[in-house]
A = this chain, B = another copy of it.
Amino acid sequence: MAIHRFVPTTWHNVLGSLPPALRVEDGDVVITQTIDAAGYDKDGAARCPGPNPMNGPIFVAGAEPGDALVVEIIRITPIRATGWTSQVLAANVIDPERVRDLPPRNRTDWVIDLEALTARLADPVQGLENFILPLEPMIGCFGVAPSLGQAFSTATSAANGGNMDYRGFKPGTSVYLPVAVPGALFFLGDCHAIQGDGEIVGTGVETAMEVEVRLSVRKGYKLRWPRGEDADSIFTVGNARPLDQALQHATTEMLDWLTSGFGLSPIAASHLLGQVVRYEVGNVFDPAYTMVCKVERKWLPRI
């Protein structure tokens, strides 16, 4: 097991079958610094235009179509004392006639306290004088190359991952992604210091991070949609519009997990989901919305 310090020199605005920037073995750890959603690095230097420039792709030896790439999120450390957000709700999350009254979508600067691990607005805003947020670092956009030679903008998401903006993609979480090409071709970037559900202003607190992940291959672990787990829960992810369809994808993937992976019948899986399922909302700003279907481990059968 090796630890790679990956320093990208180019970045990508798509997840696709691009030439690998790094090759790692199954189980290796990668430490890399991500630039922000607009392409500014930890020193505030513009490195790449947006949207959401990605580090990568990383070729993981042994990953083949039909396997899952396991992304263990070990650490996300803020490395810049500034962040930024959009200042106003996205037009698509409020009632259409009310969009007329929205202020413009300007950017707002934030101060990130790298010692206290908090974020606050750089300029005072009435009523938010005490709005100091503990950081909850997360990876906004990550995924693998999709099938068929497709390549998707990092402004959206699909079965291969992408810009899901789910708060649960944080240290302690492992994510399973469906491998579609040899080596999986893993990308990551667009980290947030903190973000509410849905990324409803169109941004989290966008900043630069140092991320540490372990990449491994689970052979023959077929998935249609991303899966994940942490100490307490397992979850599945659907990316689509409308949110109803994202929910259908996530729920179907969880049904498959409970039946194939935990040996439940469809009826037993329905009983379990019906009474204990939790849904969490990822991105509802991008072309594809993200819905997470979650079950606490304590309800799962022992296997």
Contacts and interface: CB of A to CB of B under 8 A. Distances in A.
Interface of A: 12-14, 16, 85-103, 108, 119, 121, 125-128, 131, 133, 147-153, 194-201, 203-205, 240-245, 247-249, 251-252, 255, 262-281, 284, 287, 289, 299, 301
Q: Which of A87, A127, A149 gathers most chain B CB within 10 Å?
A: A127
Contacts of A148: 13-14, 153
Nearest to A121: B271
Given A85-B271, A201-B273, A240-B287, 9 more contacts: A94-B248, A94-B252, A108-B267, A125-B267, A128-B264, A201-B270, A240-B241, A244-B284, A244-B289
Contacts of A274: 85-86, 89, 195-196, 199-201, 203-204
Contact of A279 (B98, B99, B264, B281): B281
B128 A271 contact: yes
A266 B299 contact: no
Nearest to A51: B148
Contacts of A197: 277-279
A102 B97 CA distance: 10
Nearest to A133: B275
A127 B301 contact: yes
A-B complex: 10 closest residue pairs judged by Cβ atoms: A201-B274, A91-B96, A99-B99, A242-B242, A196-B277, A127-B301, A243-B243, A279-B281, A92-B96, A151-B151
